[in-house]
């Protein structure tokens, strides 16, 4: 042992890992599901299993996107058009396209308030670099696990707000709670519930009153129908001083494997004389070297008139599937949220079953696989998530089986 090491051990100074990793709850949700399905399948090789648990898109990239990707690849092959490092916050052509997209539903964002990234999940995790560890984080239960785990990793304290049947899985602000960072996801994963502009206004008023910041996950914004709930938190008054919005091309344009998203950090979001926009720019230029030029060209094509027409046709397939599932619930008299402005249907398990009891019941009697709500938080117990990302055929067959099983 070197003298330095001995001295450090005596002083109690030695290399330490981040012990907060021990505090992250292990999630066995999807491995448990896979295990149960594999066991059932092995015991009943003659049965066809229908999956309505998929949380990933299944339709391919739109032709306009493919064309743009190909031509960007060609540009990279020639000395005259080759691109090396690009701007960390994204190319102007894509930021402008995103800006115009926001304008199409009446929201004004500055080009330099938009930051292009490799997806919403990375930004949702990375944004925490901007915040002190002592902030109190408010998270809905049930919830997309990323919000909780990224904060637990950093050692932050978390308070939960109850989403349940009595509030339609859309919790509203409680002024007796002094939250600093608030997560809202609308349309929600897993519940499919979506806030109206008026409801978001109440959250924005609360955040401004409490000096809190809302981290708004709009990953499923594209599923909202015309005259439906809010598409962006920036449709409210005052969000510019309290909200950051995360969006992604994953769900609307099948970019889950291609990777591109965007985050809006308003110039007016300031605390202690510090600007969130400037801090995020500094953070990104320090730790990130931007999204691939090729992918950004593909992403820009999503926002072209042709691209929009093509991705809208894909979204319509999922929306039709969601309606098929929702209609089935209506027919069976089962309570649910989502289905209308979301690819998710969040239903109350029939016959008083728990989430896992219903999972087993559906698998064994209808060979349909969904996701037990209990896996998304304590308030998810007794609920179940079905998704619209499968094919129409599979969705129709699954619904027919569910009806046969549950119709009195």
Ligand X SMILES: *Cc1c(COP(=O)(O)O)cnc(C)c1O
Question: Closest CB to ligand X among 146 and 334?
Answer: 146
CA torsion sign for 259, 56, 194, 396 is: positive
Question: Closest CB to ligand X among 372 and 402?
Answer: 372
As given in the structure block, the two tokens for residue 285 are: 């230029």
345 contributes a contact to ligand X by CB under 6 A: no
253 contributes a contact to ligand X by CB under 6 A: no
Question: Closest CB to ligand X among 284 and 367?
Answer: 284
244 contributes a contact to ligand X by CB under 6 A: no
Question: Closest CB to ligand X among 180 and 217?
Answer: 217
Largest CA distance in the chain: 79
Question: Closest CB to ligand X among 52 and 406?
Answer: 52
What are the distances in angstroms from CA 135 to CA 131, 156, 179, 181, 301? Answer: 7, 7, 8, 7, 39
Among 120, 148, 200, 224, the residue binding ligand X under the rule CB under 6 A is: 120
CA–CA dist 370, 361 (Å, integer): 11
- What are the φ and ψ backbone dihedral angles of 67, each rounded to 5 degrees? -60, -45
CA–CA dist 373, 371 (Å, integer): 6
Among 89, 151, 186, 189, the residue binding ligand X under the rule CB under 6 A is: 189
Among 95, 99, 121, 156, the residue binding ligand X under the rule CB under 6 A is: 121
Among 261, 298, 338, 339, the residue binding ligand X under the rule CB under 6 A is: 261
Measure the CA dihedral 105/143/371/338, to 10°.
-30
Strand 371-372 with 383-387, pairing = antiparallel
Say which residues have a Cβ less than 8 Å from residue 85's Cβ, sequence separation at least 6: 289, 290
Question: Closest CB to ligand X among 253 and 402?
Answer: 253
Question: Closest CB to ligand X among 88 and 245?
Answer: 245
Question: Closest CB to ligand X among 185 and 402?
Answer: 185
263 contributes a contact to ligand X by CB under 6 A: no
CA–CA dist 122, 178 (Å, integer): 27
325 contributes a contact to ligand X by CB under 6 A: no
Among 89, 151, 199, 248, the residue binding ligand X under the rule CB under 6 A is: 248
Least distance (Å) between residue 12 CB and ligand X: 40
Question: Closest CB to ligand X among 94 and 366?
Answer: 94
219 contributes a contact to ligand X by CB under 6 A: yes
342 contributes a contact to ligand X by CB under 6 A: no
User: Look-up: residue for tokens 């800006």?
Assistant: 99
Strand, helix or coil at 368? strand
CA Rg value for the chain: 23
296 contributes a contact to ligand X by CB under 6 A: no
Among 250, 337, 371, 395, the residue binding ligand X under the rule CB under 6 A is: 250
DSSP secondary structure string for all residues of 126-158: HGGGGS-TTPEEEEEES--THHHHHHHHTT-EE
Least distance (Å) between residue 127 CB and ligand X: 13
217 contributes a contact to ligand X by CB under 6 A: yes
Stretch that binds ligand X, among 32-40, 245-253, 291-299, 391-399 (CB under 6 A): 245-253
Nearest partner of 56 among 340, 390, 400, 398, judged by Cα? 390
Which neighbouring-strand residues pair with 401?
none
Least distance (Å) between residue 142 CB and ligand X: 12
Closest residue to ligand X: CB criterion: 119
Question: Closest CB to ligand X among 215 and 402?
Answer: 215
Among 138, 185, 200, 324, the residue binding ligand X under the rule CB under 6 A is: 185
Q: DSSP state, 45?
A: T
Among 162, 196, 256, 275, the residue binding ligand X under the rule CB under 6 A is: 256
Find out whether 20 and 154 touch, Cβ atoms under 8 Å: yes
Under rule CB under 6 A, which residues in 154-183 are in contact with ligand X?
A: none
Task: Please state whether the peptide bond connecting residue 283 to the residue before it is cis, i.e. omega within 30 degrees of 0.
Answer: no
Q: DSSP state, 343?
A: S
Find out whether 131 and 181 touch, Cβ atoms under 8 Å: yes
Among 119, 252, 370, 372, the residue binding ligand X under the rule CB under 6 A is: 119
Residues that bind ligand X (CB under 6 A): 119-121, 144, 185, 189, 217, 219, 248, 250-251, 256, 261
């Amino acid at each position: 042992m070197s003298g330095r090491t001995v001295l450090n051990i005596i002083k109690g100074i030695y290399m330490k890992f981040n012990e907060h990793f021990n505090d992250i709850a292990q999630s066995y949700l999807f491995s448990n599901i896979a295990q149960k399905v594999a066991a059932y399948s092995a015991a009943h090789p003659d049965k066809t299993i229908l999956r309505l648990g998929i949380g990933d898109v299944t339709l391919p990239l739109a032709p306009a996107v493919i064309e743009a990707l190909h031509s960007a690849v060609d540009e990279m092959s020639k000395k005259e058009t080759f691109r090396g490092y690009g701007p960390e916050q994204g190319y102007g052509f894509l930021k402008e396209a995103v800006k115009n997209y926001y304008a199409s539903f009446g929201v004004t964002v500055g080009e330099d308030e938009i930051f292009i990234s490799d997806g919403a999940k990375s930004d949702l995790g990375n944004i925490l670099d901007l915040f002190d560890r002592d902030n109190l984080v408010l998270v809905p239960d049930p919830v997309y696990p990323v919000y909780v785990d990224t904060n637990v990793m950093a050692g932050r304290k978390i308070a939960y707000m109850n989403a349940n049947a009595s509030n339609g899985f859309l919790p509203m602000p409680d002024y007796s709670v002094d939250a600093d960072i608030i997560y809202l996801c609308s349309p929600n994963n897993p519940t499919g519930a979506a806030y109206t502009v008026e409801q978001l206004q109440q959250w924005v008023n609360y955040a401004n009153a409490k000096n809190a910041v809302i981290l708004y996950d709009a990953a499923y914004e594209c599923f909202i129908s015309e005259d439906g709930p809010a598409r962006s938190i920036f449709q409210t008054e005052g969000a510019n001083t309290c909200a950051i919005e995360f969006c992604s091309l994953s769900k609307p344009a099948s970019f889950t494997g291609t990777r591109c998203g965007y985050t809006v950090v308003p110039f007016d979001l300031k605390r202690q004389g510090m600007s969130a926009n400037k801090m995020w720019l500094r953070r990104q230029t320090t730790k990130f070297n931007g999204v691939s030029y090729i992918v950004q060209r593909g992403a820009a094509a999503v926002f072209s008139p042709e691209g929009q027409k093509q991705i809208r046709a894909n979204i319509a397939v999922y929306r039709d599937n969601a309606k098929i599932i929702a209609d089935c619930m209506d027919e069976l008299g089962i309570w649910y949220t989502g289905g209308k402005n979301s690819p998710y249907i969040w239903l109350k398990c029939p016959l008083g079953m728990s989430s896992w009891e219903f999972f087993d019941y559906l698998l064994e009697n209808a060979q349909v696989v969904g996701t037990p709500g209990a896996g998304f938080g304590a308030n998810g117990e007794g609920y179940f998530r079905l998704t619209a990302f499968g094919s129409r055929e599979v969705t129709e067959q699954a619904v027919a089986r569910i009806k046969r099983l549950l119709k009195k």
